[in-house]
Structure 1
Amino acid sequence: MSKIKIKNISYKGWKETIEISNSTIKILVVPEIGRIMHYGFLDGTNMFYENEQLEGIKFNAGNYFQENNTNQAPNLGGNRVLPCSEEYFNILTGSRHVPDPFLNASSYEVTFLKNGVILKSPLSELLGIQLERIITMSENGTKVKIQQKLTKKTAAKNKVIEEIPLTIWSLSKIKTPNTSYLPINKKSIFENGFLIPKWPDAKNNAHINAALNSAILKLKSSDNLPQKVGADSKNWIAGYLHKTLFIEKFNFDDKNSYPDGGTSVTIFGNHLFSELECLSPEKKLKIGETICYDLQWSLLKIEDKNNVNSILESL
């Protein structure tokens, strides 16, 4: 008999929420918005940031969320996936801050498995793609596996959009205050092993809170100012809060090109949340072609924050 329990619950207004748990952890998958909104120990708090102002809201695929009569990306929280680098958002949607509205916060189809679920996005009428995520849990311990596939189904809306290289870009928003970590690639293409991007419309304040400790970059969450770092890290990215270390593992492919000048991971944050971001190599897809990119999550209880670095160095 499986030690994994799966049940439908109503969660903060989302009536189709799926709770998946074992004897140690639980996750909450919300098909109405295509996201994982909770990950944590059974006796602990949710690692993910959630925006109370948008609880229970459902979004129609392809419709833009609006605030002050302007198209916006709804800041729901949790974990989501986007299909291309932010540098192409302006071509795709007309705004560098607004991603594909067919994949972001739309309602996803769900299929139940013995140890998890499959989420399938709507078909993007902009990019002609569909995203599938197989989310499964180990019977024991804290491991969650996320198998991800982006498939080119039809032609993009126009020739300009057709030229956008695609990626599987997973974004996990964790609560603040926290400290985030990424490993420095010994053969990094970036000076000092990481990048602090320059923004056209805001100041990046990551230099205030970033520090190198051995071969690991540590970034304290910001009190009020936005900040972002990127790196060509291999294998993992992590965040520490509530005496818990959240680790996301991935496979690094040094034979292919990564988005944003070669970044496989980024950390973006402000006073509300820190976003741990894992990116697959990017590729222009023909109809029928796919990008596959898998993640593995785990949690560790660590009472003394001073022990975090040594644990991460052993990964």
Structure 2
Amino acid sequence: MAPEGSHVQLDHKLINHNMWDIDVAPWTLTVMAPGGKAIFPQEPYSPHPDIPDYPGQVIDKKFYLPQRVLVLWSYTNLADPRWNFLRKYLVLNQDPKATNPQKIGLSNRQHWGAYLNDGTLYVKTNKYEEGATYPDGGCSFETFTNAAMLELESLGPMAKLAPNGGSCELREDWYLFDNVKAESTDESIDENVLPKVESILK
């Protein structure tokens, strides 16, 4: 924990005490109080390489390829009003009156997720490793909610742990910010949440 401020660094470690190899991935769940909203960044926008936004725009050919993974569970309902799919962010609202759970997973190359509840913004970071194989179809972040709570879940890459002590680790960094208000719009999140996130990612 930092001597000043709210920063907490967590190092999670899995150790194989078996006598054989095991394939695993670290998975950490942060369970949040009801009544707030989870916020995840989308990957930066780029137009289709063949359809520029303005004449003469040069667009990297890599944008012919997919830029993110979005994983859905059997009970995921994208028509559920708790979801807000914005151009720059994904927002999932926790509703204590909800009768069905919701969950998605994503490959989060922006390295952060947040939860805003009653003016307090919680941000957790989990560094995405390019080229690594992630579990659940490629997820480094997941979020789940039901009537009681909402989870912000971090996942590390798949690892083969050698017997008798092989290990892997996952590092998270947590931060808290007071007096934050934001609506579920790109403009409001840009103005009120993103500057807080950028201050810790520098």
**Is TM (by shorter chain) over 0.5?**
yes
Output the amino acid matched with 2:12.
Answer: Q
Aligned equivalent of 2:162: 286
Aligned equivalent of 1:217: 90
Counterpart pick for 1:171 among 18, 29, 46: 29
Aligned equivalent of 1:261: 137
What is the distance in 1 between the residues matched to 2:91 and 2:2?
Answer: 29
Q: What's the TM-score once normalised by structure 1's chain length?
A: 0.49
Aligned equivalent of 1:275: 151
* CA RMSD between the two structures: 2.0
Output the amino acid matched with 1:231.
Answer: L
The gaps in structure 1 that reach 5 residues or longer are: 1-136, 157-161
What is the distance in 2 between the residues matched to 1:264 and 1:311?
Answer: 25
What is the distance in 2 between the residues matched to 1:302 and 1:251?
Answer: 27
What is the distance in 2 between the residues matched to 1:291 and 1:298?
Answer: 24
**1:184 is the counterpart of 2:5:** no
3-state SS of 1:272 partner: coil
Shift of 1:248: 0.4
**1:233 is the counterpart of 2:108:** yes
* Mapping of residues 65-214 of structure 1, within 5 Å: 137-155=1-19, 165-186=23-44, 188-190=67-69, 194-198=70-74, 203-208=75-80, 209-214=82-87
Shift of 1:204: 2.6
Structure 1 outlier segments of 4+, above 4 Å:
none
What is the distance in 1 between the residues matched to 2:193 and 2:85?
Answer: 13
Instruction: Report if aligned partners of 1:143, 1:298 keep a CA contact under 8 Å in 2.
Output: yes
Closer/same/farther in 2, CA of residues 311 and 257 from structure 1, 3 Å limit: farther
What is the distance in 2 between the residues matched to 1:171 and 1:206?
Answer: 22
Encode CA deviations 1:8-60: one digit per residue, 9 max, x unaligned: xxxxxxxxxxxxxxxxxxxxxxxxxxxxxxxxxxxxxxxxxxxxxxxxxxxxx
Encode CA deviations 1:257-315: one digit per residue, 9 max, x unaligned: 00100011111010100011000011221123321210100011134223444344343
Closer/same/farther in 2, CA of residues 204 and 214 from structure 1, 3 Å limit: closer
How many percent identity over aligned positions?
22
What is the distance in 2 between the residues matched to 1:278 and 1:303?
Answer: 23
Q: What's the TM-score once normalised by structure 2's chain length?
A: 0.74
What is the distance in 2 between the residues matched to 1:196 and 1:310?
Answer: 29
What is the distance in 1 between the residues matched to 2:179 and 2:87?
Answer: 20
The gaps in structure 2 that reach 5 residues or longer are: 45-65
State the aligned residue count: 166
**1:300 is the counterpart of 2:173:** no
What is the distance in 2 between the residues matched to 1:250 and 1:227?
Answer: 22
Shift of 1:143: 0.5
What is the distance in 1 between the residues matched to 2:12 and 2:180?
Answer: 33
Shift of 1:255: 1.6
